[in-house]
Structures are given as structure tokens and as C-alpha cells.
Amino acid sequence: MDFSQVLDRCGNYGRFQILLLLLYGYTNILGSLHYFSQTLITFTPEHWCSHVDLEGLSMKELQTVYSNISTPSCTLLLGVVNGTGVVAEEGVCKDWIFKRENGYESITTELKWVCGKSHHSAVGQSFFFMGSVVGTTTFGYLSDRIGRLPSLLMATLCGATGDFATSFVYTLPGFAISRFVSGLSTDTMYYLMYILVFEYLSPKSRTFGLNIILAVFYCFGLVTSPWAAIWIGNWRRYLWLASLPALGVLIYPLLICESAQWLLTKKKYDEAVECLKRVAKFNGRQVEDSMFVEFVKHYRQRTKEESAISSQEDNFFAMFMTPRLRRFTLTLLLKSVIITLSCDVVNRNMEGLGSSPFKLFSFTSIVYLPAGVAILLLQNKIGRKGMACGALFVGAIITAVTGFLIAHLNPTDNALLLAIMVGLGRFGATVSYDAEIQYAAEIIPTSVRGQAVSNIHVVGLASSSLAFYVIYLAQYYKPLPSIFISCLMFFGAGLCLTLPETLNKKLPETLTDGEKFAKNESFLYFPCFHKKQENTEFETV
């Protein structure tokens, strides 16, 4: 009697799972507030070098004064003659006039990190990125060593501590250090909670539960965070809003328990049984003790058999020791780079489109809802492989078309149309990203799921550092970034064909299972085009 059968008796979509999903939703809100805080606090509005002759002028008048100057933000004026600025021959700008977004004070406007200090924000982003690499690797490893739940708590509190500490800095060193600490939990809190929920849900419920919660709660966080920043009006207070709610995760251990599936891989059978009994009690199910006895007996016997074959403990690097798992792992790593870089470029490209970047980001974030619904309606019908491949293929087409429209339309006259196209681009990227998360988690065996997902994720995060260079390609030809991303997404769609289908299959728990998983399946196998085959090596759940 294996885990899925016992979980079915204890309840694999009852009150316990609903509570887990609600906490997952709360974690998604925390994650969205935290992840995009870096963008919101370092927002740099349009600005001009200040001068006494410019006092009291409107924004349009300022633009007229500087119309004959190529770099108005950093050019010191001698004065204004007949409404036109006269450039000073010497001296540097020490004060600026900022066109603040509804009066919002960012760290850039408060500390005047522009012109000669414009690199300060980039330094903070670099340290934030370095922290994310360290944190994702560390907490992913810990999740497979000490458990999903304690790693989740530590990661979330690290990020909150970093955000809170950032709100008190006034210098570049303090900003860099606090952003490094904040970066330790970048997305880590999200995917650790994802794995915990994933391992307590039945296969039939995963697509609905995980994707609808992600669509609703993450979308809510993205849509509201720019408005919250504007309403609060100050980057320091915004960071308080983003960090203090993270203290809510301290009650998680009182409400939920550790992953029983992970406990089994660590041979902690008694603790796994206690967790399953807790699930059964919460779901109002009566399960005989004899079933748990058979359950533990089954896993003890299985452990002995596997130990006789190999004494090596499952770990991420062992996934490279066998041919099929090595191919799956390398493919997932490469796909993570493609999808993460694509999403990052699409989400960052919000300026120069005729709309407020704050409002454009907020309004186009609504696409997370239809993206989640699209996955919900299609993934269980066309399969994980078909969804991942199709999302990348369609996303590539949308991105290419959007890029050409942005290049050839006047932003001021076509702000609404461009906003719609940006939204469509984000829709394609979001579907690709969300479909990839579940697909990768199902292919990777339980025994290494935490560290493997984290390592795959950190490779994707590393690719985000290239986003600036991809966007810079527009200096040579405006649609070039979109063309480049489209080519990557087309390539990613092809890579999906080399991965196995996971729909309606018992997922691998150990590396031995992972190597045998869907062994005789062809590259072009899609559940929607093939009849369900019986008597396969892994029975349908």
C-alpha cells in the first residue's frame, strides 16, 4: 500500500487541502509584494537638472526649456533665455526636478540616485540577484534535508527581514547588504509552499488547486502593489507593507504539518504516519491502524530492496548519473533559462509605451487570471507536455507580433493598443511560466524535488541578469528583443517534445522510479491524441 492509496483514504482534497491552498494563496500575495518591491522602490521618473529660473514651471514648460539639450536630466543650466535653456560651460548638477508618479517618493528621488549616482540602484539589484542565487540554492537544499515547512519559514522571514532593513538605509553599502538579505527569499517562499501543497494533493486536483490559487492571489498582489505604493506615497513605508505581513507564516506550523511524502523518503515512517493521521482527522476520515501498519511495512521493504541495489542516497547530482534522468534534468535546466529570461524581459519592458509604467504594470497584471484559467481548462485535456509546448509556441508568436507593433506605432497616439499588446505578451509568458512549474515538479522524483526544483529555478534566475542586454538590443533595431525572445520560446517548445508526459501517471518517488518513468513513451505522445494505455509500468492514479 503506497502513499497515494493511503492519502486517498485520509483525504486528498478535503478540508486540510483547502487550508493548504488558502495558505498557498497568502504566500503568493507575500511573494508578489516582495518580488516586485525592487522595481517599485527604485523607480526613476522623468527628471531635469534644477535651476532657480525653472521654479514654478509646469512639466510641459520644463520639456520646452530643455528641448534643445540632448541630456536634460544631467545638464547644468546657466539660465533660461526666451524660454530656452542655456547650458553652463562648467559645473555639475546637484539638484533635480522630478516628475513624480502621483507624488510617489522612491529611493531614487529621495536620495537623488541619478546621473553620477544612477548606478546605485543597479548595485542594489545586483546584490538582490546574488542573494536570490544563494538563497534559492541554500533553502532548496535545506528543504530536502530538514523539511519543506522549516525551510519555507526561514526563507520567508529572511526576505521580510531584508525588506524591513532596507527601509532604514541611507547609504549604498547599507542598501546593498539589505537587498542581498532580501534576495535570499526571492521566489523561494513561493516554490517551497508550492511543493508542500503539491505533495498533499491528488493528481486530478493539482491543476485546479495550484493554478487557480496562483492566478487569483498572485494576480491580486501584482495588480494592487503599484497602487499601494502610490497610495502610501513613500518607498520606506511600502517596504513595511511588503515585509510585516510575512510574520503570518509563523502560524503555519500550528495549522499544517510537514510533507508526509518527504518524510517517507527520509525513512521517518512514524512521523509520516502522524502527519497522515492528522490529515485524516482534519478531513473527518476514519482510517484503521492496520492500514498504517501495512503502509509502513510496504516502505520498509521497498527501502531494503533499493538499498541492496544502491547504497547511495538520492541527491540532485545523482540525477546526472543515469541517461534518461540526465536528459530530463538538462532539458528542464535549459527550459528554465528560456522561460525565466522571456518572462523577465516581457515584464520589464513597461517604459516608453505612452502610459504610466505603474498603471501599465498593474492593468496588464490582470492577465494572470485568464492565464490561470487557460491552464485550468486545457492542461488536464491536452496533457502537461502539450500545455508546455503549446504555451511556448503561442507565446512566441504573440511576443513577435507585439514587438513589431511597438516598433512601428506612435506610443502617444496608440497607448491603449500598445497596453493591450503588452498584456497579450505577458499572458503568453505567464502561461509558459506557470505550466513549466507544475510540469517540472511532476517529472522530478520526490526524494530530490526540493533541491532539484530550486537548482533548476536558480539557473533560470541567473539568466535574468541577461535581461538588460536583451532589452538593449532595441538600440540597434526596436523589435530585436522581441524577435530574440520569440526564437528562444520556439526552441523551448521543441525541447518540450523530449520530456515525458505526466498526466494521469503515478509520479516517481525515488531516482530509480525517475529513470524508469514513461520509458517506452514516444516523443510525439500526447494524451489528447492517444487512447489511454493499460497495463503500463506505472498504473494510472
HSE at residue 160, side-chain half, CA atoms within 13 A, is 21
pLDDT given for residue 238 in this prediction: 92
Q: Return the sign of the alpha-carbon dihedral for residues 268, 269, 274, 278.
A: positive
pLDDT given for residue 310 in this prediction: 54
State the Cα–Cα distance between residues 73 and 199, nearest whole angstrom: 53
pLDDT given for residue 245 in this prediction: 92
Assign domain 314-532 one CATH number from 3.40.50.300, 3.30.930.10, 1.20.1250.20, 1.20.1290.10. Answer: 1.20.1250.20
Are 1-40+117-303 and 314-532 in the same CATH fold? yes
pLDDT given for residue 103 in this prediction: 85
235: cell is: 518607498
**Non-local CB neighbours of 268 within 8 Å, separated by 6+ positions:** none
Under 8 Å between Cβ of 212 and 377: no
**Non-local CB neighbours of 61 within 8 Å, separated by 6+ positions:** 83
Q: Mean pLDDT per segment of 10 residues, for the chain of length 541 residues?
A: 83 88 91 81 82 75 74 75 70 82 88 84 79 83 87 92 93 92 83 84 76 84 87 92 92 91 86 91 89 86 68 69 87 89 77 68 82 81 85 86 76 76 82 81 80 78 73 74 88 89 80 81 72 42 37
pLDDT given for residue 174 in this prediction: 93
CA 315 to chain CA mean position, Å: 24
DSSP state letters, 315-351: -GGGGGSSHHHHHHHHHHHHHHHHHHHHHHHHHH--S
pTM value is 0.75
Task: Give the bridge partners for 343, in sequence order.
Answer: none
pLDDT given for residue 81 in this prediction: 65
Under 8 Å between Cβ of 509 and 445: yes
State the Cα–Cα distance between residues 111 and 153, nearest whole angstrom: 33
pLDDT given for residue 537 in this prediction: 39
Q: CATH topology for 1-40+117-303? A: Growth Hormone; Chain: A; (1.20.1250)
pLDDT given for residue 408 in this prediction: 75
137 CB neighbour count, 10 Å cutoff: 17
Q: What are the sequence ranges of the domains in the chain?
A: 1-40+117-303, 47-99, 314-532
